[in-house]
Chains A and B, each alone.
Chain A
Amino acid sequence: MKVKRLFQKTLFGVFSLFGFIGLSTSILCVYTVDTHLSEEYVSNSQDIAKTIADASVDILLNRDLSTLQSLIDQFVEIQGIRYIYVTNEAGEYLAHTFVPGIPEEILAGDPSNTETVDRNLPGMGDFVEVGSPILAGVAGAVHVGMDTDLIALKIQRAIGQQVYLISIVFVVGVFAAIWLVNLAARPVGDVLAYAVAVARDVGGEGEDAVDARHRRVLERDDEAGQLARLFLHCLRNGGPGEARSGAAS
């Protein structure tokens, strides 16, 4: 599909503009998805930690630790949650999901601190850990570790889907732009072809002898038809000056 030289710059401009829009949209999308999903995961983890903390009050006061372990074992089955541990007010680890043991990095921390922290646990990976106090902290705290690698993978997947969609729209847009530009350029080409045909026949049998295929442009009611008729008028009247005076009369 050859684009008329007259419109190549226009087409380049369209591509550039579309590319810019696509790129900026992708960057915004990456940022938005990354931010929102990360916030959502952290928020969900906090909800889970709070749910366990609320349920733990009754379990710690009235029941036994196997029930608490059973509770956190069910929550750790949720995708993205890699570990949960529950401590009492003295910092003792009452229930957890670590195998083969509680990592040193966690043992070295302050279990009463329920602020969100980033953790790197050797052999396990990177995590965002959120916490929730049990009974306002006087009965201990619940900590939930979210696997950031898994979060990153999910974010990448979400972003990939967005970029994939934008790429498809871009490719379709490029072909559509070329087609539209060519559609717009075709009447100009017709006028040019008509002018060339008439010019070749100058001093010959006159414009009536021009191929009917090229004369069809004279029938158009758009700017291309007007241009062709103006050109014919000029030709019949001997030149642009004649045409101007003829057109004025």
Chain B
Amino acid sequence: MFTRRSIMTTGLAGLAAGRVFGASSAPGAGVTDTEFVLGMSAAFSGPSRGLGIELYRGATAYFEHVNGREGVGGRRVALKTYDDGYQPDPSVKNTMTLMLEDEVFLLFGYVGTPTVTRVLPMLKKFQDRGMYLFFPFTGAQPQRQPPYGDFAFNLRASYAQETAGLVDNFVRVGRRRIAVFYQADAYGRSGWAGVRAALGRHGERIAGEASYRRGTQFTASMRPQVEILKAAEPDAVVCIGAYAACAGFARDAVDLGLRVPIANLSFVGSENLLKLLAEGRDDPRAYTDRLVNSQVVPSYEDTSIPAVREYREFMERYDPEPPADLVQEAYTPFPHSFVSLEGFLNAKLLVEVLSRLEEPPTRVDLERAVFSVKDFDLGIGERVSFGPERRQGLQQVYYTVVDEGRFVTLDDWQKRFAI
């Protein structure tokens, strides 16, 4: 079911019991005297459910912390969630429900390019309602440029930045023949276009390409895709997909002798990918030592970073559960993950934005509040700024490889991947 919903109800204790406003200063839709209601549509079912669940868990850890104190200006943050299974049509339906029936204050934490690209036109259609999409878990371009860029705010770096970084580094270590394995949809095409553009700057073209259908399981054979790319004799493969299919591709690539670095974008869900590749194998290193994943947040293993320490502390303290009524399939959450860290940082920045709203809070004031964020320290080193020409908070891309069964920061491309 894609339309089940859940409302985060924890963290009510200790909140202000209700502030009294005059009739002329009533809050806008989605805000009461005691809470902000946010709407989220994400994958909580299907082969990509790990992405929605971990993003939700990371955000919830921070919201629970805020709600457990004094909320945001005395209002708790409630997250109304729906499952779209990473499918466009349910995400559109969920968005209609969130905007027109639930009348949430804003949309937050959507997962995926094929879903978000279909939702954006709705935001334009109902622009008189002033609805914004905050910090979607996708690096695609449509929510970063006209005609829909004005309806979304992004925190993470774009796929164009991730793919450019991967390509630049591969080329720098002598790997110029880059092939692409990608999901046959808007997300895959967005990454494909990023690789193509980056290669073009080096005077190269995509050496080979193979695609798969969205929703492909890990158990599916990727032999045809591997054979297509193997015939292109690439120096490296950039994968633009979700963890189940990308893990299946990496497995079959190793089994069929395609022994080149395999890169994945941040969207892949690194921990789930690693779990699928390593679980139950005698020699997991054979399947993971050529992986290199780009990330849009720093490593959660690096406790020298203040926000990482905070994230780890809140995840341990609140141990947020996946929304029980949405998650029907078996899923074991990770104590820490790049996706939940991103959800955590999204929530942290959103709380900062909400705290900058003038009383009474309305959607009309949201854009001003976001644009007032200048050189804000999220606690990860890179400072965040927004403005009319800058609707993406972070620009930095990190690279990670598997070492001793976990993803760690890649320090030396030359040493690891030079031909």
Contact = CB atoms under 8 A, between A and B. Distances in A.
A111 to B, nearest CB: 16
A79 interface: no
Contacts of B190: 64-66, 69
B211 A101 contact: yes
A97 interface: yes
A66 B187 CA distance: 7
B11 to A, nearest CB: 37
Interface residues of A, number: 16
Interface of B is mostly: helix
Q: Of residues A67, A68, A95, A97, which shows the largest number of chain B Cβ atoms within 10 Å of its Cβ?
A: A67
Nearest to A97: B184
A65 B117 contact: no
B400 interface: no
B118 interface: yes
Contact of A70 (B117, B193, B213, B225): B117
B209 A70 contact: no
Contacts of A65: 189-190, 192-193
Contacts of B224: 100-101
A67 B225 CA distance: 24
Contacts of A97: 184
Interface residues of B, number: 26
Interface string A90-120: 0000010111110000000000000000000
A73 B209 contact: no
Given A65-B193, A66-B186, A99 B142 contact: no
B347 to A, nearest CB: 26
Contacts of A68: 189
A56 B199 CA distance: 23
Contact of B210 (A67, A73, A101): A101
A69 B212 contact: no
A216 interface: no
Contacts of B186: 66-67, 69-70, 73
A98 B211 contact: yes
A70 B114 contact: yes
B145 interface: yes
B188 A99 contact: no
Nearest to B89: A77
B321 interface: no
A125 to B, nearest CB: 17
A186 interface: no
A90 to B, nearest CB: 11
Interface in B156-209: 184-190, 192-193, 209
B189 A101 contact: no
Interface string A168-179: 000000000000
Interface of B: 113-114, 117-118, 140-142, 145-146, 184-190, 192-193, 209-213, 224-225, 228
18 contacts: A63-B142, A64-B145, A65-B189, A65-B190, A66-B140, A66-B142, A66-B186, A66-B187, A67-B141, A69-B186, A69-B188, A70-B118, A73-B114, A97-B184, A99-B212, A99-B213, A100-B210, A100-B225
